Amino acid sequence: MRALTANRLTDGEVVFWKQGQWVERFADAELFAPDDAEAEAAEAHAKNQITLVVEPYLIDLMESEGLWAPVSYRERIRALGPTNLNHGKQEEGGAFVEALLHASGAARSKGRVDLIRRK
Amino acid sequence: MYQYDTLDKEFLADRSAEFRGQVARRLAGELNEDQFKRLRLMNGLYLQLHAYMLRVAIPYGSLNPTQLRKLAWIARTYDKGYGHFTTRTNLQLHWIKLADAPDIMDHLVSVDMHAIQTSGNCIRNVSADPYAGATAEEIDDPRVWAEAIRQWSTVHPEFTFLARKFKIAVTASPKDRTAAKTHDIGLHLKRARDGSLGFEVMVGGGLGRMPHIAPTIREFLPANRLLSYLEAILRIYNRQGRRDNIHKARIKIVVASLGVEEFARQVEAEWEKIGTAPDLPDTELARIRGAFAPKTFEILPAVSEALEAARAAEPAFARFARNNLKPHKQPGYGIVEVSLKAIGETPGDATSEQMEAVADLAERYGQNDIRVTHEQNLVLPHVKLDDAPAVWKALAAVGLATPNMNLVSDIIACPGLDYCALANARAISVAQNIAAKFADQDRAELVGELKIKISGCINACGHHHVGHIGILGVDKKGEEFYQLTLGGSGAEDAAVGQALGPALPYDRVAGAVDTLVDVYLRERKDGERFLDTFRRTGVAPFKEAVYADAN
């Protein structure tokens, strides 16, 4: 599965796409099947929302403890908050947070690759 | 310390107002992100993983209590109650909202601070020896010259759009506490036989993808010709810096590809053309020097009875004094190092309460002077030895009395993948794991000076190339791995470390450091630091031990 993520313009908060809205919790993100063209359509739409978000991109997900988690470790940190202090989104706790914390898969982050390409 | 004049204050107020307008236009959609990004970066505002990050400039790492209190207040009001001191002696706030940034700038301006030239391809904040004005080793106060460079370089029209960023460090002591040789320009103040002041000029140092130790292009530059000479160097760089390839855009590549002699020749030729026009008039130099006039010190005995009594009564204080209290030029005074490396904490982080406590101590015991070091600690440069026990007690009350300066747990670490959008791997938690292994201070002292430096990516903000043990986080198919290097140094004996072997997974790094330390303890001869032993034995015994464990 995939999800669409970005940082919110006004405060930089990590946000996820959910049926035309931006939500803060990864647990609330809309999931797109790997071959679902709606994902690309949402991404294209998001790129035009310049007063709402910065640098939207799609991330790949995998199963973890029966739930979905980003494949990239960087994206899990974005979804949870930093690991050195417990004051990011992980503060909320719950099954989704646990699923992300316990996910062990890994892949390069498209967000970082894009960032470096743009530099 | 140097006081901004009316012109400086007006400029900062104008600049802050301009930034407010830029943010408003971005929020309204009149600027897109590509247009806005270059403007926000001119004001030290980055977008990181979880929020915006504001990098506040701390010129030559020098702060007064009012400024530090304001930083603490900003961190509490607009961030999550802490800040991160960096290897460029700046302060990063990691949880900033774009909509708040203009107000934060105004608050900074109210205490003569800003975030100009903490980002972008310009001459960055100039750093200097954190012991300036306090150590007997120095032959002149490097802050005088760093301030002159700050004034000259601030929004310098010719050098605002260089091929890449440009960093300058100034030191005046044989013991280099600025990592001068890893800078684009390192300046080392010296005195000639005739008593005149001058600089050894080192150019083309840098870390990142291609580490270089700066070679000397001029052994002795008369001090009063500094600015014209810098202009000549920058002009050669501006003309020849590689704008076609970001990885080859720093001045180190120009120096390396031309060769030191040819680069120096071109600089000298350019310098001749420039003449003396950009140089600082003696009157202006005297005005700046006046701002750093020596403090008024009391006449005190060299040995403090109060200090000695506290040493005898309190073993914990004795340990602190042994590791964190350094000699001052004035009898009866000391330099107090405030460690931001408490075991288990994030290297370089200070909470608002901690910043306020240090500001209070500087006011009460430290002549209103606070310094930031490139090793991510703070310094109270002028403390009476009689007051050292009270300062220690107050620091301990807020978790700032860790007695580990220059020891194995005094680790440099960049924010890494926990915060930084460019990082490949975490650096902070690696530092925490290593520090936990050496929480026993007796063992840490037995090991002695050992500088561990950790970067979360090849950009090397954590100076890993010049760590006695350097640790670089890499992305191996999306997983965190770490390459270890040994034998680097950022000090006067600067060197780039040598690779130990294949990268190690995250959970093996702290154990590997433990093994490296065991090898050192086994191999060392009298008086040798880790670095000395490594330089004598080479990498073989260390490599064998670490990878034997892996098999």
Q: Is residue B295 part of a domain?
A: no
What's the maximum distance between 2 C-alpha atoms anywhere in chain B? 68
Q: Which residue of B has its CA nearest to A12?
A: B51
Contacts with A53 from chain B: Cβ below 8 Å: none
Question: CA separation (Å) from B447 to A77, B340, B432, B484, B498?
Answer: 35, 20, 18, 19, 21
Mean pLDDT of B401-422: 97
**Is the domain of B235 the same as that of B357?**
no
pLDDT band per the 50, 70, 90 thresholds, residue A103: confident
DSSP, collapsed to helix, strand or coil, labels residue B296 as coil
How would you classify the pairing of strands B498-499 and B504-505?
unpaired
Torsion of CA A72, A77, A80, A82, to 10 degrees: 170
Size of interface A-B (CB pairs under 8 A): 87
Q: What percent of chain B has pLDDT over 70?
A: 99
**Is the domain of B383 the same as that of B427?**
no
Complete edge-to-edge strand list for the sheet that includes strand B91-96: B45-47, B52-56, B91-96, B82-85, B349-351
CB B391: neighbour CB atoms within 10 A?
Answer: 26
Mean pLDDT of B369-381: 98
Number of domains within chain B:
4
pLDDT at B533: 98
pLDDT at A118: 60
B87-114 confidence digits (pLDDT tens): 999 999 999 999 999 999 999 999 999 9
Q: Is residue B406 part of a domain?
A: no
What is the rounded distance in angstroms from the CA atom of residue B527 to the CA atom of residue B337?
A: 23
- Checking if the pLDDT of B34 tops 70, the result is yes
Q: Is residue B317 part of a domain?
A: yes
B296-334 confidence digits (pLDDT tens): 999 999 999 999 999 999 999 999 999 999 999 999 999
pLDDT at A97: 87
Q: Is residue B405 part of a domain?
A: no
- Checking if the pLDDT of B551 tops 60, the result is no
Q: The domain containing residue B326 runs over which residues?
A: 305-397
**Is the domain of B418 the same as that of B450?**
yes
Q: Which residue of B has its CA nearest to A56?
A: B33
Structure tokens at A37: 């063209």
Q: How close is the nearest chain B Cα to the Cα of A53, in Å?
A: 9
B338-370 confidence digits (pLDDT tens): 999 999 999 999 999 999 999 999 999 999 999
* Mean per-residue pLDDT of chain B: 97
The residue to which tokens 């020749």 are assigned: B265
**Is the domain of B511 the same as that of B544?**
yes
**Is the domain of B242 the same as that of B380?**
no
- Checking if the pLDDT of B121 tops 70, the result is yes
**Is the domain of B421 the same as that of B546?**
yes
pLDDT at B27: 98
What is the rounded distance in angstroms from the CA atom of residue B478 to the CA atom of residue B289?
A: 52
How would you classify the pairing of strands B469-476 and B452-455?
parallel
Asked if the Cβ–Cβ distance from B478 to A51 is below 8 Å, we say no
Q: How close is the nearest chain A Cα to the Cα of B548, in Å?
A: 27
- Give the domain CATH number at B332: 3.90.480.20
Contacts with B51 from chain A: Cβ below 8 Å: 7, 11-13
Residue environment code for B394-408, b if the CB has 16+ CB neighbours within 10 A, otherwise e = bbeebbbbbbbbebb
pLDDT at A117: 64
Structure tokens at B316: 């914990």
- Checking if the pLDDT of B172 tops 60, the result is yes
pLDDT at B183: 98
Structure tokens at B79: 């961030």
List all residues 6 or more positions away from B73 whose beta carbon is below 8 Å from its beta carbon.
Answer: B107, B352
Chain A, 69 to 98: residues with Cβ < 8 Å from chain B are: 71-74, 77-78, 81-85, 87-88
Q: Which residue of B has its CA nearest to A49?
A: B29
Asked if the Cβ–Cβ distance from B27 to A10 is below 8 Å, we say yes
Chain B residues at the A interface, defined by Cβ less than 8 Å, are 26-29, 32-33, 47-52, 80, 96-99, 246, 346, 417-419, 421-424, 426, 428-429, 432, 475, 477-480
Q: How close is the nearest chain A Cα to the Cα of B92, in Å?
A: 15
Mean pLDDT of A82-102: 88
- Checking if the pLDDT of B204 tops 70, the result is yes
B494-527 confidence digits (pLDDT tens): 999 999 999 999 999 999 999 999 999 999 999 9
- Give the domain CATH number at B546: 3.30.413.10
What is the rounded distance in angstroms from the CA atom of residue B319 to the CA atom of residue B317?
A: 5
- A62-76, B147-161, B456-470, range with the lowest pLDDT: A62-76
pLDDT at B144: 97
Q: Is residue B127 part of a domain?
A: no
Asked if the Cβ–Cβ distance from A12 to B480 is below 8 Å, we say no
Asked if the Cβ–Cβ distance from B33 to A55 is below 8 Å, we say yes
Tell me which residue in B26, B33, B478 faces A73 most closely, judged by beta carbons.
B478
- Checking if the pLDDT of A105 tops 70, the result is no
**Is the domain of B153 the same as that of B284?**
yes
Q: Is residue B115 part of a domain?
A: no
CA atoms within 13 A on the CB side of A57: 13
Do B49 and B420 form a contact (C-beta atoms < 8 A)?
yes
Q: Is residue B190 part of a domain?
A: yes
CA atoms within 13 A on the CB side of B215: 14
The answer to whether A48 contacts chain B (CB < 8 Å) is: no
What is the rounded distance in angstroms from the CA atom of residue B374 to the CA atom of residue B169?
A: 10
**Is the domain of B84 the same as that of B225?**
no
Mean pLDDT of B471-486: 93
What is the rounded distance in angstroms from the CA atom of residue B380 to the CA atom of residue B291?
A: 18
Query: ∠ CA B240-B222-B196 to the nearest 5 degrees?
Result: 160
The answer to whether A53 contacts chain B (CB < 8 Å) is: no
Asked if the Cβ–Cβ distance from B47 to A13 is below 8 Å, we say no
pLDDT at B479: 86
Q: How close is the nearest chain A Cα to the Cα of B505, in Å?
A: 13
Q: Which amino acid is at A1?
A: M
What is the rounded distance in angstroms from the CA atom of residue B230 to the CA atom of residue B236?
A: 10
Do B114 and B124 form a contact (C-beta atoms < 8 A)?
no
**Is the domain of B344 the same as that of B453?**
no
pLDDT at B499: 97
User: Domain-by-domain residue ranges, chain A?
Assistant: 2-113
Q: Is residue B122 part of a domain?
A: no
pLDDT band per the 50, 70, 90 thresholds, residue A93: confident
- ipTM > 0.95? no
**Is the domain of B161 the same as that of B239?**
yes
